[in-house]
Amino acid sequence: MMIKSLVSTVLVFALLFSFPFTAAAESIPYPPDILTMQDGTPVTTAAQFAARQDEIRSILEYNMYGPWRDGTGETLSYTLKSDTLAVSVTYGGKTASFNASVTLPTSAAPDGGYPVFVVFGGMGHTDYVLANGYAVITLNPTDLASDDTNRNGQFYKLYPYGDTWEEQSGVLMAWSWGASKVMDALVQGAGAELNINPQKSIITGVSRYGKAAAVAGAFDTRFAVTMPVCSGFGGMTMGRYQSNGLTFNLLPDFAKDPQAGSVADLSEWKSTGGTETIVGLQGSGWFNENYKTFAAYDNCPFDQDFLSALCAGDGRYLYMVTGIQSDMWNSPPGLWYNYEEAQPAFALLGLEDNFAIQMHLNGHSIELEDLVKLFAWLNKEWYGIDFSVSDFPAQLQDFLSGFTLDSLKTCVFADAANAVVYASGKPNGKVVTVTANPDNQVPFEIKLGDVPVSTVVSRNTDGDALIVPADNGFMFTYGRTLQYGSSFARFALTLPDGINISDFESVSFTCQTDADYWGKKMAVIAAPLPAGLPSAIDYDYNTGAIPNEGVTALSTNNFFPFNTSVATDITMKIDKNTAAKLDGVSELEISLYIHMENVVGTAQYTLTNIVFNPLAGVTVPTPAPTAEPTAEPTPVPTVAPTAKPPTPAVTAAPPTPVPTDANKSSPAAVVTVIVCVVILAGVATIVIRKRNKK
């Protein structure tokens, strides 16, 4: 009753302020409908949809990106010097300033001025852009906000990151604010001075800057075209679509693509490498604190089609772009799922022609093909000019010979040949759970050279990660709330007398994962017992460094082989100089620490046949058998009982599970602790017969 009352109170508070309750949310398997109001009312008119857009803005601000700063209370000024637009903004007695570079075409401007790209971080093929009469204004995003969790930069001078959600604009919002200030300057007069038409503006960027472009276009409706490129999760890819492991037919769509040779078999393109996890996103500074409360994408009371819905409006266009081969970890089919889910909103407004999707075969970048199609589309929409394939760059004419503007309303994942497999990646209402295994301790055997040693493997936390036996090893399944960097398996190891861990040159084992993941890395780490390994490892993915006190990384930074969905033999070299730090320590706790992605709680690996290989000239002593005490003689059987098998020299006790470090705890764990404290406090007050105080 206490928990239910607490949740009800928070829900009421959230509803009063028009924001949905998010903490420790249950699974919401399907994306919330963008054409249904929060109270369940269907959206059937443009007026209703405008109200729904207000709801969507509030939902995204509160739950993910933080508050949008719309310029209220700000004073903006600008100066133009050569090719630089200098912007200065004053708010609350403080001033922030930044520059943007300006590049203009040499051709005559159309009536009203040049159309303009406002670009986060730069773009390729600028010569082609300028030759087609488009100006380019480029922002350096890190001037506005550092790309980390430090909350530095010009934006945070005016809007410091605070303790309440109203003060917690993430980095994507900060970058978007900078683009909005450029638009302010253009509207105030810079556009006229440069002969640029702000009403024909395109906001764009690639990768993390593609996420920023999506946010900027969604929240500043003055941008005519929103063009997020390779924006992935947290941008325009639907979190609820799972493409990992699915195989699609890219023919005949890409048969004539100049980059066709970059894919081994176009008829069987397999989306592998996992997908960008929500925990990975939460570790960046891109989002607000509330976003960190979600254990999985399907806990969120929204999906990324909400951004698309905010780009729907008269005179506005949305052009979603991604690579396929280059962006499999960004789930290209999940971008098409966004289009499917958001298209009804554009249709409701009669703006079916204002929504486009474009997929190039390879390149985590703005490709020439993307611009060719964009200009064909916008020249028709803005200037009434029809395109001709003969005017396209020569290297693309054969490939794009069948291109029409209707081609921008579909993609290869909508082909009939891919219908079944594409549908299998959509949410089906099922929630993946991990089977309960409260002990999570599995006895197994490793070898020190040729000498077998018994030990017990356990997990590092009390979360929902799972360890189960496997032949000559164990299988480890990541839990929904304990993903790669915060969840690992470990075991105790007692070295024979006279043997140090530096006497071993490598660790070999057989590994099999449930899918072929990109970016898997591994380190052999150790710490002296009884302290052992901490409950969370601060592993630096780029360098392999592990700064945790008392923890030694025995191996160098190593990538896994890619195709470990089949059993693969792996050998990890031990660095003798580093291992020598543990000379004289015979009682160790070891982890073959694996850093890989989690796909909605299903990611798992199996390790078998683990062998510590000694250096040449080092002999690991065979443990002497332990004699069995003499038994009392018995009449039956007549044959004397045999002794027990030899007792291995090392019999490691299972490590005691250590509570997860507070900084690594899942939202569910935090809520559990709070509830337990509240209950214990209530019991204590009853015992001492005092009035309960809230």
CA dist 539 and 168 (Å) reads 27
At position 137, the amino acid (one-letter code) is I
Are 230 and 500 in contact, with CB atoms under 8 Å apart?
no
What pLDDT score was predicted for residue 636? Answer: 37
Residues in the chain where the model's pLDDT stays below 70: 1-25, 273-274, 429-439, 461-465, 479-486, 516-519, 541, 562, 596-603, 624-694
CA dist 315 and 143 (Å) reads 31
What pLDDT score was predicted for residue 643? Answer: 35
For the sheet with 135-139, list strands across it: 75-81, 84-91, 94-103, 135-139, 114-120, 196-206, 225-229, 317-323, 355-360
* Strand-pair partners of 229: 206, 321
**Positive or negative, the Cα torsion across 225, 231, 236, 237?**
positive
What pLDDT score was predicted for residue 87? Answer: 98
What pLDDT score was predicted for residue 597? Answer: 55
Are 456 and 483 in contact, with CB atoms under 8 Å apart?
no
- Which DSSP letter does residue 405 get? G
What pLDDT score was predicted for residue 594? Answer: 82
What pLDDT score was predicted for residue 467? Answer: 83
**Of 533, 528, 623, 531, which Cα lies nearest the Cα of 584?**
528
Q: Report helix, strand or coil for 276.
A: coil
Instruction: State the chain's maximal CA–CA distance in angstroms.
Output: 113
CA dist 512 and 521 (Å) reads 14
Are 34 and 16 in contact, with CB atoms under 8 Å apart?
no
Q: Report helix, strand or coil for 116.
A: strand
CA dist 249 and 324 (Å) reads 12
| HSE-CB of 615 using CA atoms within 13 angstroms | 13
Please give the sequence-ordered ranges of beta strands (E in DSSP) within 392-550, or none if there are none. Answer: 441-448, 451-459, 466-470, 473-477, 489-494, 504-513, 521-528
Backbone angles phi, psi at 640, to 5 degrees: -60, 140
